[in-house]
Structure 1
C-alpha cells in the first residue's frame, strides 16, 4: 500500500473541530521546529481520561515533525460528554475520524500511548485504509482479552530501590481509596514504578498526574463494548495493512512488556521494539533513544 507522503502544513496552536455529533472538540498543533514540510503525526493520550498535556512534545518529536494532539472528551479544553457512553473508546475513535476529515488528511500516521492504544486499534479496525503508520507506545492488552502479569514482576524486581516500599504500600491502598485527594496522593507515591528511574525529569512529569486525570472519562472508557464486539474488532485488525510498531519498556511497571507483544500479534505487519532502562513514558526516561526509533519507523528505515 503506498504511503501518503504529501506535506500538509497546519497552523500551530490550539484549534477546534466539530465531531460526528456536532460537539466542538479541541486539538493542538506543534509545528516542526526546523520548518520542515512533513506529514503530521496525530498523537493520542492515554490514562484513560488523562489531559494530553502529559505527552508534552514527546521527547522532541516536534523538532522535525508536525504533531497534532487532540484533547479527548472531558479532558483538556474539550467539553465533557453529554452521555457517559461517549467516553468509550469506540466513540473516541469516531472523534478521531472527524478530526481527520477536519484536517483534510487522506491518510495519516497515528501514535497512541497507554490506554489510547485501544482507541487507535478501534480506529484502525474501522478505517484501515486511512493509516500510513501506527505506533502503539506501552499499550495494555485488555482489548485482546489478556492481562499479562509481567508488570508486577518488573515492579517487584526493583524492590531494592529507595522509593519502593512506599510505592508498594500506595499500590496496595489505591483499590480502596475513596476521596480524590487521597487518590492523588497515592498516585504520586506510586509514580516511581512507571519510570525507568526516579530523577528530576521523572519527578516533574509525575507531579502533574493527579490533576490531569478525569474520573468520569476514565470510568467510561471501557464501557459498552460487549464480548462479541470486542472479538469482531480484533478480527478486523488482520486487515490493517499499514506497518505497526509497538514500543515497550523493560522497566514499565504499569503495563509491562508482554502486553505489547500480545497486541502486536493482532496485526499482520507489526514488530515490537523493547527499550532498555525505560518505563511507561519512554520519551521522559530516554528521549534520545525514543525519538530516533519513532523517526526511523516513520521514514521506513
Structure 2
C-alpha cells in the first residue's frame, strides 16, 4: 500500500493480525535496499506479530523527497508506529537499517519493547575495515576505484551505482555463488541520489557509540562471523555498550545470517523475543 508519511509516500506491507504486537523492520543500504529483505526475514514472524516492512524514503518504490538524513528516517519510523496505533513496538534493523534502529532506540527509548540488530555498526569506522577486507579477498579482485566511489557516495547515476554494486556483491556471502550475485544485482532498485547522500553526507559524522547506554529495551545483536563490511568487532562494541544486550555470532554466514542460516537465525530471534515477552499482547 502507498502510505503518506511526513509529506512523503512510502510503500508499506503489513503481515499478521491487527491486534498482535507490532514489529517494524528497517532495510539496509539506502538507495539499494528495499522491503524485500525484511519481508522475507520477518514475514515468518506474522504468527505472533503484526509485521510492518516498508521501502524507506528515497529507496525501493517509495517517494524520494529529501532530506535523506538519519533524523528524517527515524521520524518516518515513528510516524509508522503512530499509524499502526501502538505506543510500543519491536524495532528491527540490519546493516544501515541497524543505524536507524539504534538511533530510534536512542531518541525514543520508551517506545521499544525490544530491539533486534543484524550486521551493523555504531560508527563509520567499519568502512576502513571493509576496505581492507575487500582488498585482501582471495575470492575476487575488486576494482579499487569502484569500491572507493560507492563507499564514498560518489556514483554518477543509477547505472553507475549498479555497476559499482555488482563489483562488491561477491564479497557479501559466506559461500560465493556467481549466479546468485547476478540475480541480486538484477533485482536491486537503484536510487543513486539517496545512496550518495547516505554515504557522502551522513556516514562521515555517524557515531552513536557514546549514546548506546541510553537504550533501555532488551536488545539482541546478531552478526555473521565472516561479514566483510560490518565485521564482528563492530557488533561486539554495540553489545558491550547497550546495557544487558545479547550477542549471537553465526558461524557460517557473511553479511546476511538471516538468509544464509535462515532457520537458525529465526529460532534465535524468535526465542529471544519470546523470552523477553515482546510477543505478548499488552
Structure 2-normalised TM-score? 0.81
**Residues 179 and 125 (structure 1 numbering): CA distance in 2 closer, same or farther, change over 3 Å?**
closer
User: What secondary structure is seen at the aligned counterpart in 2 of 1:141?
Assistant: coil
Unaligned runs of 5+ in 2: 150-154, 277-282
Aligned to 2:22: 40
Aligned mate of 1:248, from 223, 243, 267? 223
Whether the 8 Å contact between 2:146 and 2:167 is mirrored in structure 1 is: no
**Residues 186 and 15 (structure 1 numbering): CA distance in 2 closer, same or farther, change over 3 Å?**
closer
Q: Distance in 2 between matches of 1:300 and 1:284?
A: 23
Aligned to 1:6: none
Unaligned runs of 5+ in 1: 1-13
Whether the 8 Å contact between 1:150 and 1:257 is mirrored in structure 2 is: no
Q: Distance in 2 between matches of 1:299 and 1:46?
A: 25
Deviation string 1:63-115 (CA, Å, 9 cap, x unpaired) is: 6343211221122232111xx4x211111101111111111111100110111
Structure 1-normalised TM-score? 0.77
Aligned to 2:280: none
Aligned to 2:252: 277
Q: Distance in 1 between matches of 2:41 and 2:204?
A: 33
Deviation string 1:219-274 (CA, Å, 9 cap, x unpaired) is: 223636996xx67x654432321111111101211211111112223311212111
Cα RMSD for the two superposed structures? 3.0
Q: Distance in 1 between matches of 2:57 and 2:18?
A: 31
Whether the 8 Å contact between 1:52 and 1:71 is mirrored in structure 2 is: yes
Whether the 8 Å contact between 1:40 and 1:108 is mirrored in structure 2 is: yes
Q: Distance in 2 between matches of 1:113 and 1:254?
A: 12
Count of aligned pairs: 268
Q: Which has the larger radius of gyration?
A: 1
Write the mapping of 1:1-301 to structure 2, written as runs, cut at 5 A. Answer: 14-19=1-6, 22-31=7-16, 38-49=20-31, 50-58=33-41, 61-62=44-45, 64=47, 65-81=49-65, 84=66, 86-142=67-123, 146-147=125-126, 151=130, 159=138, 164-165=139-140, 168-171=141-144, 173-176=146-149, 178=156, 180-199=158-177, 202-203=180-181, 206-208=184-186, 211-221=188-198, 223=201, 234-300=209-275
4+ residue runs over 6 A deviation: 224-227
Deviation string 1:4-56 (CA, Å, 9 cap, x unpaired) is: xxxxxxxxxx241432xx3333321133xxx7974221100110232222334
Q: Distance in 2 between matches of 1:62 and 1:23?
A: 28
Whether the 8 Å contact between 2:15 and 2:50 is mirrored in structure 1 is: yes
